[in-house]
Amino acid sequence: MKTIGIMTTGGDCSGLNTAIQRIVRGATLRGWRTLGILDGTDGLCVTPPAVIELNDLMLPIENARLAGSFLHNGRAHALNFETAAETGRIAAFNRQLHKSLRSLNLDALVLIGGNGSLSLAWANREIYRDLQLICIPKTIDMDMPLTERTIGFDTAVQQLTSFCDQLMLTARSHHRWFVVQSMGRDCGQLALHAGIAVGAHAILIPEIKFDINALIDHIKSAQTDYGIIIVSEGISLRGHSGRPADMISRKLTSAGITNRPAFPEHTQRAGDTTATDRILATRFADCALNAIENNETYVMTALMNDTVTTVPLAEFIASGEIVHDPKIPDLMTSNAYVSPDDPLLSVAHDMGIYLGEQK
């Protein structure tokens, strides 16, 4: 009988519990034992490792729709890759993780994480040398190469869209604009998708430079005196500091445009998982289980042309734009961004949405 482990790492999002529940269900049908590692790598830094045995009763299917992770994603001040690197203990940290995994006698580990987690897994792959490592991509940022969707993205778009829908009503009542700051880090996918969904008048993303005066002129020339402007958290405004929505709001106010900044914050990472994310999580879970059966390792599940398959982690790393991780020295992460030929950019342009100074 195989024993497999499940671990969620990085930021949380909707769809994690769906993936966990589906993995457990599929493993049970195969006659496998499933262990859940608590708090990500934190759970491997204690003796004995913090794990729970998972079965259908631990995570009922009706709870699989809930946001967050049933296994938790880690504690803020616990020893992890970041704090280990800061204190010069990365080698000892890696040895501890390997020792803990060996003590669990796992045949395979399913790691559900974002681009940082997967980049770390590849950079420190010796940790997982005694088992099969299967990774499932999740992030509301959708900044991961080689997959057309990540678990959690669709729900985040819905959450941000719903937030803006409600603001639109009060915006209309008071003849004002709302500058809504989205999550997404250095990737503008979340802002772009939600902006088009809500009918924003402007969408500012890190991938496209913008001119604040052109934005002001665009808003002043609009055939309305209210609406939504979505700015991704990764944008910058030369000569100004602070939260992007605040910076843009102050500029609009100076130009005589009545507005308020608004911050949906972590509500974008919450909310009942949408059907689209539940289906994707189920497909990824099934693919991960099949990969274990096929003796694959160091692979990631991916959605390509509506087909779910596995791709080597080495290809995941090589296919993205490689940048230095701001928190972990010497770590290079593989990233994806809004492409200049993304069809949604043309759609937004045709709908009269200001996107910046596109070439």
**HEC per residue, 227-255:** EEEEEECCCCCCCCCCCHHHHHHHHHHHC
The CATH number given to whatever domain includes residue 51 is: 3.40.50.450
**How big is the CA angle at 69 (ends 65 and 75), to the nearest 5 degrees?**
160
Predicted pLDDT at 89: 86
Looking at the fold, whether 72 and 91 belong to one and the same domain comes out as: yes
Taking CA 189 as the corner, what is the angle to CA 241 and CA 181, rounded to the nearest 5 degrees?
35
Please name the residues in contact with 279: beta carbons below 8 A apart, sequence gap of 6 or more: none
- At residue 91, the 3 state secondary structure works out as helix
User: Is residue 209 domain-shared with residue 119, that is, in the same domain?
Assistant: no
Residues 6 or more apart in contact with residue 40 via CB below 8 angstroms: 7, 8, 9, 10, 71, 72, 73, 74, 80
Predicted pLDDT at 148: 97
Same domain, 208 and 147: no
pLDDT tens, position by position, 32-90: 999 999 999 999 999 999 999 999 888 889 999 999 999 998 887 777 888 888 888 88
Q: Is residue 188 in some structural domain?
A: yes
C-alpha–C-alpha distance, residues 223 and 76, integer Å: 47
Q: What is the pLDDT of residue 240?
A: 85
329: in domain:
no
Check residue 75 and give its pLDDT: 81
- Rounded to an integer, the average pLDDT of 100-107 is 98
Domain count for the chain, please give it: 2
Backbone torsions φ then ψ of 293, nearest 5 degrees: -60, -35
Output the average pLDDT for the chain: 95
Indicate whether 146 and 284 sit together in one domain: yes
Q: Which residue has the higher pLDDT, 357 or 166?
A: 166
Comparing CA positions, the residue from 138, 149, 143, 150 lying closest to residue 319 is 143
In a domain, 93, yes or no: yes
* pLDDT at residue 143, as a whole number: 97
Mean of pLDDT values over 259-286: 97
Report the pLDDT value the prediction gives residue 359, as an integer from 0 to 100.
59
Same domain, 201 and 86: no
Domain annotation covers residue 192? yes
Q: For tokens 């005589």, what's the residue? A: 256
pLDDT digits (tens, 9 = 90+) for 126-183: 999 999 999 999 999 999 999 999 999 999 999 999 999 999 999 999 999 999 999 9
* Measured distance CA(352)–CA(222) in Å, rounded: 9
pLDDT for res 123: 94
Same domain for 128 and 163, yes or no, is no
- What does pTM read for this prediction? 0.96
pLDDT at 85: 80
Band (97; pLDDT cuts 50, 70, 90): very high
Same domain for 113 and 75? yes
3-state secondary structure string, 304-341? ECCEEEEEEHHHHHHHCEEEECCCCCCCEEEECCCCCC
Please list the active-site residues. Answer: 141
The contacts of residue 354 (CB under 8 Å, 6+ apart) are 201, 202, 203, 210, 214, 215, 218, 219
Structural domain includes residue 330:
no
- pLDDT of amino acid 280: 98
312, pLDDT greater than 80: yes
Strand-strand pairing, 177-182 and 132-137: unpaired
What the block records as the tokens of 264 is: 């949906």
For range 188-210, the mean pLDDT = 98
C-beta separation of 146 from 123 below 8 A: no
In a shared domain, residues 23 and 99: yes
Query: Which stretch of DSSP H or E encloses residue 156?
Result: helix 153-174
- The reply to whether 66 and 83 lie within a common domain is yes
Residues 193, 164: one domain?
yes
The residue whose two tokens read 């507005």 is 259
In 3D, which of 5, 290, 13, 323 has the Cα closest to residue 142? 13
- Contact (Cβ atoms closer than 8 angstroms) between residue 206 and residue 356: no
Provide the percentage of residues in the chain whose pLDDT is more than 70. Answer: 100
Q: What CATH number does residue 227 fall under?
A: 3.40.50.460
Nearest to 311 by CA among 302, 320, 319: 302
- Residue scoring higher pLDDT (57 or 268): 268
The whole domain housing 89 covers 3-152+273-319
Count of other CB atoms within 10 angstroms of residue 123: 18
Q: At 98, is the pLDDT very low, low, confident or very high (cuts 50, 70, 90)?
A: very high
Mean pLDDT of 258-270: 97
The answer to whether residue 12 scores a pLDDT higher than 70 is yes
- Considering the domain architecture, whether residues 75 and 126 belong to the same structural domain is answered as yes
- Antiparallel, parallel or unpaired: β 3-8 and 51-54: unpaired
Is the distance from CB of 348 to CB of 325 less than 8 angstroms? no
Q: Is 51 strand, coil or helix?
A: strand
Indicate if 224 and 128 belong to the same structural domain. Answer: no
Q: Does residue 201 or residue 241 have the better pLDDT? A: 201
